[in-house]
Amino acid sequence: MPKQDLKRPIGVFDSGLGGLTVVKHLIKLLPHENIVYLGDTARVPYGTRSKEAVEKFSFEDANFLLRMNVKCIIIACNTSSALAGEKLKKRIKIPVLDVIAPTLKHAKNVSKGGKIGIIGTRGTIDSGAYKVKFAVPCPLFVPFIEEGKTKGESLKLISKDYLSYFKKHKIDTLILGCTHYPIIKNIIQQEMGKNVILVDSGKAVAEELKNLLSSSKMLNEGKTKGKKEFYVTDLTDRFTKVAEMFLGQKIKNKLAKIDL
Amino acid sequence: MPKQDLKRPIGVFDSGLGGLTVVKHLIKLLPHENIVYLGDTARVPYGTRSKEAVEKFSFEDANFLLRMNVKCIIIACNTSSALAGEKLKKRIKIPVLDVIAPTLKHAKNVSKGGKIGIIGTRGTIDSGAYKVKFAVPCPLFVPFIEEGKTKGESLKLISKDYLSYFKKHKIDTLILGCTHYPIIKNIIQQEMGKNVILVDSGKAVAEELKNLLSSSKMLNEGKTKGKKEFYVTDLTDRFTKVAEMFLGQKIKNKLAKIDL
C-alpha cells in the first residue's frame, strides 16, 4: 500500500451505537489509526429484521464508508455479520472483517472443555452463523442497555431466564454475540458463575484487525493519536449519553448526522 | 362524496404492528369499511427517533396510503401523531385523524377528578403533544410486548418502576399513549389499582372516525364485510404471530411486503 494510503481511516459500521464497544478496543490496540464510525441509528435495531432488510441496510452502510475512502471495513454488528457478512466480503474490494470468525476463533482458544455457548439477537442466533451448539436469542438485552438500565432486579430476572439453558448444559465459555452485551458483562458473569469465560467480540475483532494490518503492511505508521469521526443516520438528544457509555470515554470528536 | 368513492378504503399506518389494536376497534365499529394497513416494520420503533426522522418516515407512510386511493387516513401511532400529526393534516387533502385529540377528549370525558396521566414512548412524552400534567415515558414496554413477554415478574417490576410517579400523584385516569399498551392493560390496571380508568387510544380514534364518516356522509353503505389489506416494509417469520396478538384475530387477508 502506498505510504499516503496508510493514513486512510479504518471504517466501522454498526446498526446503532453498540459497535462503539469495538471502537473502544481499536483505540486501545491501534491508537495511531484514524477511524470513521457509522451507526445506522435511524433503523436500529437490525436484530429483529429479515435477512433481506439487513443485507440492504448493511450494503448502504458499507457504501457510505467506501465513499469516506476507508482502507478496510469492520462490520461491528453481529446481526450484519451473520446475515450479510459473506456477501459484503465477496463484493467489496478492500479487506472486510466481520465479528464472527475472530470471535469464534478466540472462544475456541480459551474454552477448556469445548462447551461453547452463544447469546445474540434473534437474527444472529436464527442465522446459525456461529455454528455453536448452545445458542439462545436474548432480544430484550439491547433495549435494556439502550435505555441505560444496565442493572436492577428486572434485568437480573430476564438474564436468569435467558441463561438458564446454558447452566443446565454446563457450558464453559459464553460468546457475547452482540456488541451491546459487554455493557452488562457483570450481570451475565454473576448469573453464569465465575468459572464460565465470557468472550467479547469487540476485543476479538480488534486483535484480528491488528494482525491483518500488520501482516499486510497496512498499519498507519504515524506517531500522533488517530482522528475519530462519528456519523449517525439519526441524532437525538440522548445520543451522546448512550454513545459515551459504549465508548467508555467522552466524545470530543467530529459527529454528524448523514442520510444514506 | 360520489357513491363509488364511499367504497375507498380507510388508510391506517403505524411504525409497526401496534396500530393493529386500532384496526381491531375499526373492524368492530365499522364492519363494512375496507381497510388498508401499513406497518413500517423495517424502521420500527419510531418512539426513540428524532422529530426529523419521524416526520420523514410518516410522510412516506402516508404517501403510500394515498397511492392506495384511501378516503381518509388514521395515524395509528402516537409518536407519529405527536411529532408529525399537524404537518400531515395541513399538507394532505383528505381527512387525517391522529390518535391524540380523540384520546385526550375521551380521557377528559371519563375522568372524575381531572387528574389525568399519560404513558408513552420517549418521543411522544418529550413532545408534550398531549398537554397532560403527569407524563412518564415507558420505553421498555414496546420491546417487552413485541417479544410477546406480556406477563411475568420482570415486566411487573418495570411497570412498578414506571407507574410509581402516578400513584404518588393520585391520578384518576391514565392514557395508554401508545397503541402497543392495550396488550398489557391487565398488568397496568393491576399496578394502578381498579379505581384508575385506563383510556385506550385505539378505541377513541375508532369512535372519532365513525362520527366523522357519518357526519360527512362518507360511510361505506355496502352490506358485506369490508376487505382488509395489510402491508409491511419488512416481513419476518414472527410477523403473523405478533400481528395476530395485536389484532385479536387470525390474519386471513392479503398481506404483502412493500418498499417505501
Joined together, the cell numbers standing for residue A100 give 464472527
pLDDT at A89 over 90: yes
Same CATH topology for B8-98+203-257 and B101-201: the answer is: yes
Considering only CA atoms, which of B79, B7, B77 is closest in space to residue B37? B77
Exactly one of B138, B178, B196, B243 is catalytic; name it.
B178
Tell me what pLDDT residue A2 has: 82
Tell me what pLDDT residue B222 has: 84
Render pLDDT for A24-35 as a digit per residue (tens, 0 to 9).
999 999 999 999
Please state the pTM of the whole predicted model.
0.93
Render pLDDT for A207-242 as a digit per residue (tens, 0 to 9).
999 999 999 999 998 889 999 999 999 998 888 888
Lowest mean pLDDT among A100-104, A246-250, B161-165, B251-255: B251-255
- Helices of type H across chain A: 20-29, 51-67, 78-91, 100-110, 122-127, 141-146, 153-168, 185-192, 201-215, 239-247
What does the mean pLDDT of chain A come to?
A: 95
- Residue A72: active-site member: no
Average pLDDT, stretch A53-67?
98
Please indicate if any CB of chain A lies within 8 Å of the CB of B50. yes
Q: A140 and B147: CB-CB below 8 Å?
A: yes
- Residue B178: active-site member: yes
Tell me what pLDDT residue A3 has: 80
Shortest CB distance from A49 goes to which of B49, B139, B236? B236
Task: Sort out which chain B residues have CB atoms less than 8 A from A128's CB and list them.
Answer: none
Q: B140 and A143: CB-CB below 8 Å?
A: yes
Average pLDDT, stretch A168-197?
97
pLDDT at B253 over 80: no
Tell me what pLDDT residue A129 has: 95
CA distance A66 to A43: 20
A·B CB contacts under 8 A: 60
Cross-sheet strand order for the sheet of B197-200: B134-137, B116-120, B173-177, B197-200
Provide the 3-class DSSP secondary structure of residue A96.
strand
Shortest CB distance from A144 goes to which of B52, B122, B140? B140
CA distance A12 to A70: 9
The model's confidence at residue B28, banded by pLDDT at 50, 70 and 90, is very high
Exactly one of B75, B77, B96, B174 is catalytic; name it.
B77
Domain ranges (residues) in chain B: 8-98+203-257, 101-201
Instruction: Give me the CATH topology for the region B101-201.
Output: Rossmann fold (3.40.50)
Average pLDDT, stretch A156-172?
97
Render pLDDT for B195-205 as a digit per residue (tens, 0 to 9).
999 999 999 99
Let me know: does B84 contact B20? Beta carbons within 8 Å.
no
Residues in a beta bridge with B56: none
SS3 of chain B: CCHHHHHCCEEEEECCCCCHHHHHHHHHHCCCCCEEEEECCCCCCCCCCCHHHHHHHHHHHHHHHHHCCCCEEEECCHHHHHHHHHHHHHHCCCCEEECHHHHHHHHHHHCCCCCEEEEECHHHHHHCCCCCCEEEECCCHHHHHHCCCCCCHHHHHHHHHHHHHHHHCCCCEEEEECCCHHHHHHHHHHHHCCCCEEEEHHHHHHHHHHHHHHHCCCCCCCCCCCCEEEEECCCCCCHHHHHHHHHCCCCCCEEEECCC
CA distance A165 to A158: 13
Which residues, 6+ apart, have CB-to-CB distance to A237 below 8 Å?
A: none
Lowest mean pLDDT among A34-38, A102-106, B244-248: B244-248
Residues in a beta bridge with B13: B38, B75
pLDDT at B181 over 90: yes
Domain B8-98+203-257: which CATH number of 3.40.50.1860, 3.10.580.10, 3.30.360.10, 3.90.550.10 = 3.40.50.1860
Task: Sort out which chain B residues have CB atoms less than 8 A from A149's CB and list them.
Answer: 140
Domain A3-98+203-257: which CATH number of 3.90.1170.50, 3.20.20.70, 3.40.50.1860, 3.40.50.300 = 3.40.50.1860
Residue A95 preceded by cis peptide, ω within 30: no
Rg (CA), chain B: 18
Render pLDDT for B88-109 as a digit per residue (tens, 0 to 9).
999 999 999 999 999 999 999 9
Please indicate if any CB of chain B lies within 8 Å of the CB of A255. no
